[in-house]
Amino acid sequence: MTSKASSIEQNGINAVPDAERYGKPADLFPVWFSWNISIFGITCGMYVFGLGLSVWQAMAAGVLGYFLSCFLVGVLAVGSVRTGLPTLTQSRFCFGTDGNRIPAFFGYTANMGWKITMLSMASTTLADLMANLCPPLAATPGMPSTFCLLLAFVIVIVLTMVGAVYGYQLIIKVERWIAIITGVMTAIYLFFFIPQIDFSQLNSAPSGSWGTFIGGVVLAMTMVGLGFLNYGGDYSRYLPRNSSSASVIFWTTTGIALPVSVLLILGVMLSVGNPELLDKAAHEPLAALTGILPFWFYVPFSLVIIISLISAGMTGVYSSGLALLAVGVPLSRAATTLLNAVIIALGCFYLTFISDSFLSTFSSFLATISVIMGSWGAIEIVDLLRQKRLNWDVTMANGYGEGGRNYRWTAMASLIIATIIGLGTITSSDPYIAKITSFLLSDEVASGTFAKANIGLLAAMISAAIIYYVLTFVLKQDVPPVKKSK
C-alpha cells in the first residue's frame, strides 16, 4: 500500500480497512519527534525548576514525568492498531456511543487548548520576525504592531488548516522532513545556548521537598504525555493489524519523551542563576530563548520554530476534527477542521490579549483538563484488557442494537467520581479557571505543597483506574459475555 499525500484523506472515525494499512511502528517516531523537538521544551524545563527544586531533582522529576506519561500514550496507541479506530472512537467500547460524547468533548477541548497554545506561539514568533525584518510592521523597534500580529496569525492558521484538511498521508510525509530539519537546527541552536549555562551554579539551588518533587513529576506529565493521551492512536491506526505492541509503545514513547527530556535538562541547567530569564519565560516563552541568538541565525531558526509549531498544530487540529466526529457533530472531517479555525482564533485572542501570564494560564489549563482526560485515559487503559477479551470487535463502537452500547454506567461513574476528586484537590493560578478547582480543600490545605503541586491529578487517575477495575473485573458489573473468535 502506498500513501497519496496529494489527495484528501477519506477516512473519518471509521475503522481503517486492512487494505489501506501500511508502514511499520518505527514510522511513528518522526511524527512525534518533529513537533516535540521545539525549543519550547527548554522552557518546560524552566517551569519544572521554577517549582523550587534543585537542578538534579528538576531533571529527574521532568524525565520521569515525561516517560511515564508518554508510555501511557503508547499503550493507548496499541488499541487503535488492533481496531483501526481513532483513540476517542475506540473509547466507545468502554463508555458506549452516547456516553463517550462526554470524554470526546473534553478530549476535543484538550486538543484545541494545546493547539491554541502552539499556534499562539507560532504567531507571536512570526510576528516578531516580521517586525525585525520589516520595520514598518513594528510598533516600536523589534516589537510587532497589532496589525503585524494579526497578519502573522492568519498566515499560521491558513498553513495549519491546509495540512489538517488533507490529513494523515500528507502529515506523515511532511513530518519526516520537519523532524530532520528541526533536529539539525536545534542542535545548532545548542551551540549558542550551552555557553549561556553557568555550570558552576548547578549545585547552588536548594533541594525541594518530596511533595514538590512529585509536583514536578505531575507538571511534566501534564506538559507532555497526558496532553497526547486522547489522540495517540490517531497515527497508529494505519499500521498493519498485527504490528508489535512493544514496538508501537516504544516508538511512540521515545518519539515524544526523548527530545523533550534532553531539552528539559538543558532548560533546567540554564535556569540556575537566571531569575530574569525565568520571569520572561513566564510571559514570552520563545522570545526568552531566541534573544540569545545573533541576528544571522535568529532569522532561520525562528522560521524553524514556526514550522515546528505549525506541524504541531497540523497534527492536533487533524485529531480535533476526529474528536468532534466522535462527539457526534454531523459534519465531514474537512468541515470540522474549518470550524476549528474559528475556535482557535478566539482562543488565541484570549491568550495573546487578555491573559496576564502565559505560564499561569497554560499550567492551569493543563492541570484542569488533565484531571478529566487523565481519568479517562486510566479507565480506557484498564478497559483494553476487556476489549482484548472481546477480540477487538469493532462493532462494540456502535450503538445499541448494532453490536455496542449507548452507555456503560461503570465507566461513566468512574470518570465522574475521579474528576470530582481531581478538580477538588488541585489549585489554579488563573483567576477564571480557579472557580472550578480546590473546592474539596480548606484554605490552609489549598495553600500547601500537596495542592499547589496538583498531586490531585495523580489521585484522580489512580482513583479512576481502581474504581473501574473493581466494578468491571471484581464485581463484574455491566460486562457482556466474551465473544468467541471465529
Give the model's pLDDT for residue 306. Answer: 84
Give the model's pLDDT for residue 250. Answer: 97
Buried b (16+ CB within 10 A) or exposed e, 6-21: eeebebbbebbeeeeb
Give the model's pLDDT for residue 486. Answer: 44
Residue 485 has pLDDT above 50, yes or no: no
C-alpha cell at 323: 474528536
112 or 22, which is more confident:
22
> Amino acid letter at 288?
A
Confidence of residue 357 (pLDDT cuts 50, 70, 90): low
Q: pLDDT tens digits for 268-310?
A: 888 887 777 767 666 666 776 777 778 888 888 888 888 878 7
Are 371 and 460 in contact, with CB atoms under 8 Å apart?
Answer: yes
Are 107 and 327 in contact, with CB atoms under 8 Å apart?
Answer: no
131 HSE (CA, 13 A, CB side): 20
Strand, coil or helix: what is 258?
helix
Sole residue written with cell 522560521: 303
263 or 3, which is more confident:
263
Share of residues in the chain with pLDDT > 70 (%): 85
Average pLDDT across the chain, whole number = 82
- The whole-number average pLDDT for the span 326-349 is 74
- Quote the pTM value: 0.80
Are 302 and 128 in contact, with CB atoms under 8 Å apart?
Answer: yes
Radius of gyration over alpha carbons of the chain, in Å? 22
Q: pLDDT tens digits for 423-435?
A: 998 887 777 777 8
Residue 154 has pLDDT above 80, yes or no: yes
Measured CA to CA, the distance from residue 268 to residue 51 in angstroms comes to 11
Buried b (16+ CB within 10 A) or exposed e, 318-350: bbbbbbbbbbebeeebbebbeebbebbeebbee
Measured CA to CA, the distance from residue 56 to residue 315 in angstroms comes to 33
Q: pLDDT tens digits for 19-59?
A: 888 889 998 998 888 767 777 788 888 888 888 899 999 99
Instruction: List C-alpha distances in Å: 335 to 264, 325, 329, 465.
Output: 37, 10, 10, 35
260 or 196, which is more confident:
260
Helix, strand, coil percent content, the chain, rounded in steps of 5: 70, 0, 25
Are 251 and 26 in contact, with CB atoms under 8 Å apart?
Answer: yes
Q: pLDDT tens digits for 361-414?
A: 666 777 788 899 899 999 999 999 999 988 998 888 887 788 788 999 999 999
- The whole-number average pLDDT for the span 78-105 is 91
Instruction: List C-alpha distances in Å: 192 to 37, 110, 183, 189, 266.
Output: 17, 34, 15, 6, 12
Are 262 and 194 in contact, with CB atoms under 8 Å apart?
Answer: no
> Amino acid letter at 200?
S
Measured CA to CA, the distance from residue 438 to residue 425 in angstroms comes to 5
Instruction: List C-alpha distances in Å: 346 to 115, 120, 259, 339, 370.
Output: 12, 11, 31, 12, 22
Sole residue written with cell 479557571: 433
Q: pLDDT tens digits for 228-263?
A: 888 888 888 989 999 999 999 999 999 999 989 998
State which of 79-83, 201-205, 294-298 shows the largest mean pLDDT: 79-83
